[in-house]
Each structure stands twice: as structure tokens, then as C-alpha cells.
């Protein structure tokens, strides 16, 4: 699994300021590079190619890139607001991590600084006639890059912040997290033993902060367990909300006479990353919850957009299919990682995260009820061993809600007719291809 430092580095590289800073440094270094390369240019070449015009070109780039950057920033802010209002505020993080947007803004800022440093260096005479040739060549390359970025940016603006594009991003993030968790059901550790009773001498390590668990470094915990000759049992998963003093892990030392020292406590707690909000990488339930929030907002009286909710239901079926058909990793666990025991995701929680919210808010709309029942029937056919019981449970709850919310008796009868095969267990009880079903262990 992903180590803590790699995860933290990945989070930093997704921030807008990182690419902008990186491109700015590259722009400044590129402008100064012409000074170092001026001695490699023949003295007669500047007069032939008209390098004297480079200062005017740099002036145009500097003024235009400043205006384009300002316009782009206002557009990005508007897109963030649109994504928050039309979809859900929890999806705004994915819109902010859009690489095309970050590359465009970083290119504009880097080009502005490149031209600004070039103009300053030209005014001091640092380039000379030969250095102007190098600067002129680099400026031409920069113009090509700017034009290419502008064309991509114009095309990207047509979808930035739109509901469909935002849902696409949430679905991709959810599918990625589900695929990773399906391959590593226990985050790379060993399954938490079912009905396991910890011994009395087990030590409990408590949280020193309040927030959401964003990341757990199982590999670091494995190193701690090996060094301390201990077995570690995690009590939380990424996405769990913990308060000050909540148990994070319990440790059983091989030497029962030993007690926990400050080093063990510091190293163990350092493997847990807590933050103000949930993240998508290690928390598949968060992605399903965000999808459900998008559908719930679409079903609100202020929006009244059943089509978006139906679209989200279809995406939810794809996400659960990804979970059911992804094979666990065939690689053997490292011996040290077997010392770290992690609870697997519960399928019941996944269904509650996605279906409950949509079923509650869409109970009074027949088209939503029918689509939900059909989605549950599909999942029951895809993986009856994993999803069958939950599909019947949520279908029964959905019919009960619809009985209260729907007005016409004809609509109620139609919904009952569609749900009857699932409720009476008449759906397929075995998959058409048993090889696609991944029997993942889960904690009851």
C-alpha cells in the first residue's frame, strides 16, 4: 500500500500552487539560461535573424499573460462555485485537482514570469547580442506552448464545473478507490480475526486529535510491529471520524511484562493521518456518499432534476460491479504486514452509503423508485453471494417508503410488480460466470 510520505507527496502535487510554483521556477530559469548559453552563438548570427525584436515580443507576452491569468482565476473560482452549488461541496476538491486547469494556469504564470525576467535582464544588458539569439529562440518555443495551452484551455472551459463533468470525476475517484481496496481488502495487512477477543494485557493507543482518518500507513505499522515484536489490531479505517481519546489501535506485545514506551506510541500514532475532511484515495465509502449527495441534491424541490439522479444510480451500479468483479491481489503478504490486522469494508455499509439517501429523497417519484429497484436487481444478479441479501433488504425498504410517498395506487402496484421477483427471491441465485465474483472477507 501507499506509504505515508508518498501519500503526502501525492496530496501536495495535486494542489494548484504546486504546479504554478514549479512552472514559475522553470520560467525564470529558462529566461536566465540564455545568459549561460550566449557564448555558444556565433557573433554574426544575431544580425541575420532579427533578435533585436525580442524585447517587444516579451513585452506583449508579459501584458497578455497577466490579463489571461486574471481572467482564468476568475473563471476557475466561478467553476468551483458552480460545482459546489450544482453537485455537492464535497466534489469541489476533485474539480480543484483538475490537471488541465492547473497546467493552464501554471503555464500562464510561468510565461509571465519568463517574459518579466527576460525584460529585466535585457534592460541590464546581461544578454548581449548573442544572448538575445538564445532568448529569441526560447521565446518562440514559449509562444508555441502558450498557443497550445490556450486552445486546450478554451476547449476545457466548456465542461469545467458542469454537473456531468463533476459526476465523472467523482465516479472515477470512487472506482479507483474501490479497485484498490478490492485488491487489498485489508490495506495490505492481515484480516482482523472474526469474533476475536483481545487479551487483558493488550494496550490501547488513543487519538491525540479530532478529525477524519485520511490515511493509514500499514507498512510503517508493520515495521513498528516487527521492531517491537507485537501484533497490532486497528480499530479504525480511513474515513472514520475519531475524537480526542478515541481508540485507534490495540497492541499485544509478545513479552507480556513490557509496557508501552513513548517511542512506540509516537511511531504508531505517526502512521495515522487525521484531517478536517475525508479524502477519496483510501476511503471508497466517501466516493459513494458523494455520489449519493449529488443525486439527493438533484432530487431536491429547488433542482427537480430526476435525470441526474437516474444517471448517478447507473454510476453506482458500475461502482458496485467494480467492487464485485475485482480480484484480490494474488501476492503473498509480507511477513511483517501479517502482524497488522485491519477490518475489511462491510458491504452493508457500502449499500447504506449509496442507496439509503437516494431512496429517501426519491421515494415520491416513480421513475426513481423503478430505477432503484432495477439497479438492485442488477446487482443481485451480478453478485448474489455478496449483494443478494442487501439488495432484498434495500428493495423492501424502498417499497415501504414508496407506499407512503406515492399518491396513485397504480404507481404503487407497478412498483410492487417490478420489485416482486427480487423480494420473493426469484432473481438469479448464481452468477452467469462464477469466476467474476470475488469472495472478499468482510467484518460482520
- H or E, element range at 204: strand 203-206
Helix (H, G, I), strand (E, B) or coil at 230: strand
At 6 the pLDDT is: 75
E strand or H helix that includes residue 241: strand 241-242
d(CA 253, CA 230): 4
| Residue 290 pLDDT | 95
Strands 190-191 and 211-216 turn out to be unpaired
CA 352 vs CA 93, 346, 394: distances in Å = 23, 10, 9
Q: Where are the domains of the chain?
A: 4-161, 171-183+280-331+344-436, 190-275
- The pLDDT assigned to 436 comes to 35
The β-bridge relationship of strands 272-275 and 340-342 is: unpaired
pLDDT at residue 426, as a whole number? 64
> Cβ–Cβ contacts within 10 Å for residue 158, how many?
8
Q: 136: which 3 cell numbers?
A: 529569441
Residues 6+ apart with CB under 8 A from 349: 285
CATH class in words for 190-275: alpha beta
Candidates 83, 85, 94, 84; CA nearest to 171 is 94
Question: What is the 8-class DSSP label of residue 353?
Answer: I
What's this model's pTM, rounded to 2 decimal places?
Answer: 0.82
Residues in the chain, pLDDT under 70: 1-2, 4, 37-52, 129, 257-258, 260, 328-334, 426-444
Residue 432 is predicted with a pLDDT of 40
Cell numbers describing residue 145: 506552448
Which positions ≥6 away from 313 have C-beta within 8 Å? Answer: 295, 358, 368, 371, 372, 375
Contact at 8 Å (CB) between 104 and 149?
yes
Amino acid at each position: 500500500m501507499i506509504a505515508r510520505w508518498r501519500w503526502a507527496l501525492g496530496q501536495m502535487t495535486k494542489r494548484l500552487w504546486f504546479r504554478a510554483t514549479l512552472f514559475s521556477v522553470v520560467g525564470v530559469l529558462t529566461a536566465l539560461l540564455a545568459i549561460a548559453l550566449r557564448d555558444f552563438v556565433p557573433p554574426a548570427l544575431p544580425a541575420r535573424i532579427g533578435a533585436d525584436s525580442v524585447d517587444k515580443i516579451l513585452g506583449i507576452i508579459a501584458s497578455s499573460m497577466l490579463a489571461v491569468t486574471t481572467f482564468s482565476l476568475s473563471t476557475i473560482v466561478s467553476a468551483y462555485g458552480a460545482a459546489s452549488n450544482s453537485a455537492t461541496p464535497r466534489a469541489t476538491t476533485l474539480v480543484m485537482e483538475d490537471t488541465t486547469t492547473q497546467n493552464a494556469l501554471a503555464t500562464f504564470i510561468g510565461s509571465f514570469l519568463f517574459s518579466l525576467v527576460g525584460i529585466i535582464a535585457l534592460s541590464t544588458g546581461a544578454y548581449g547580442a548573442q544572448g538575445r539569439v538564445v532568448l529569441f529562440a526560447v521565446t518562440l518555443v514559449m509562444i508555441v506552448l502558450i498557443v497550445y495551452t490556450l486552445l486546450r484551455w478554451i476547449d476545457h472551459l466548456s465542461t469545467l464545473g458542469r454537473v456531468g463533468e463533476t459526476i465523472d470525476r467523482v465516479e472515477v475517484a470512487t472506482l479507483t478507490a474501490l479497485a484498490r481496496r478490492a485488491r487489498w481488502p485489508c490495506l495490505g495487512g492481515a484480516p482482523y480475526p472474526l469474533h476475536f477477543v483481545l487479551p487483558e494485557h493488550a494496550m490501547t493507543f488513543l487519538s491525540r486529535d479530532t478529525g477524519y482518518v485520511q490515511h493509514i500507513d500499514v507498512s510503517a505499522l508493520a515495521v513498528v510491529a516487527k521492531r517491537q515484536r507485537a501484533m497490532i489490531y486497528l480499530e479504525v479505517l480511513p474515513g472514520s471520524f475519531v475524537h480526542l481519546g478515541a481508540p485507534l489501535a490495540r497492541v499485544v506485545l509478545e513479552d507480556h511484562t513490557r509496557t508501552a514506551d513513548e517511542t512506540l506510541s509516537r511511531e504508531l500514532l505517526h502512521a495515522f493521518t487525521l484531517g478536517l475532511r475525508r479524502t477519496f484515495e483510501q476511503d471508497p465509502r466517501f466516493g459513494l456518499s458523494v455520489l449519493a449527495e449529488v443525486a439527493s441534491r438533484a432530487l431536491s424541490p429547488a433542482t427537480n432534476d430526476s435525470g441526474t439522479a437516474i444517471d448517478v444510480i447507473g454510476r453506482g451500479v458500475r461502482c458496485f460491479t467494480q467492487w464485485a468483479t475485482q480480484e484480490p491481489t494474488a501476492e503473498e503478504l509480507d511477513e511483517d504486514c501479517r502482524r497488522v490486522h485491519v477490518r475489511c469494508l462491510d458491504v452493508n455499509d457500502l449499500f447504506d452509503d449509496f442507496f439509503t439517501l437516494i431512496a429517501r429523497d426519491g421515494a415520491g417519484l416513480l421513475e426513481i423508485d423503478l430505477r432503484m429497484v432495477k439497479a438492485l436487481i442488477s446487482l443481485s444478479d451480478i453478485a448474489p453471494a455478496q449483494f443478494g441479501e442487501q439488495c432484498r433488504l434495500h428493495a423492501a425498504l424502498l417499497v415501504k417508503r414508496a407506499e407512503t410517498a406515492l399518491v396513485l395506487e397504480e404507481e404503487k402496484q407497478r412498483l410492487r410488480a417490478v420489485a416482486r421477483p427480487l423480494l420473493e427471491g426469484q432473481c438469479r441465485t448464481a452468477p452467469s460466470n462464477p469466476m467474476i465474483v470475488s469472495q472478499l472477507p468482510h467484518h460482520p
